[in-house]
Structure 1
Amino acid sequence: MEVECALRLWGRFKDIGFHYTTILSDGDSSAYTSVTKMNDGEGPYSVKVVQEEYVNHVKKRMGTCLRKLKEELKEESHQDGKSDQEKCRQWQAPTYR
């Protein structure tokens, strides 16, 4: 569906006289690939198309990676006998009173 919508939007440039140069996506490159294949692989109007990722999608992926890392570190900390608080002290900012 995304591919079809992207091709429709990018294909209307002659009708409305508007040129798109950037495609905003959620990391799925199928729409981007389809748009760049238009006009025998030169893009819709012989202009290089730039792909940018949606910020919230990047944020979600980063959060997933951080949660996974947290679990791995938690398992690792239990193996060496130190508590989570002892491990985390080095990363915490000092508190000022």
Structure 2
Amino acid sequence: MRDAATKLRTGQHEITEKLHSLQKFVQDLVNGGYVTDRSSKQFDQSYSEFNTGATKTIEGLDGMAKFLESAADAFQQADEQLAKGLGG
């Protein structure tokens, strides 16, 4: 479970980095390749809102990772208590 928690956090960081990279790409696009009076600005705003929402959603992976770590701790403690009860 601890490995799974680590993988969730790693995935979270990778996705967050990709979202930041794509945000910069879109900003560069609307500042240099897709420049109009209105639609490029609207596209930039829409993508920014999407990026913010996606980033907040991905942050939920940290909570899931914490849950897995807590569950692993609880299982480990239960195992230790059972072993003590059996004289081990």
Band of TM-score, shorter chain: 0.3 to 0.5
TM-score, L = length of structure 1: 0.34
Larger RCO, structure (CA 8 Å, separation 6 or more): 2
Of structures 1 and 2, the larger Rg is shown by: 1
TM-score, L = length of structure 2: 0.37
Q: Which structure dedicates a bigger proportion of its chain to strand?
A: 1
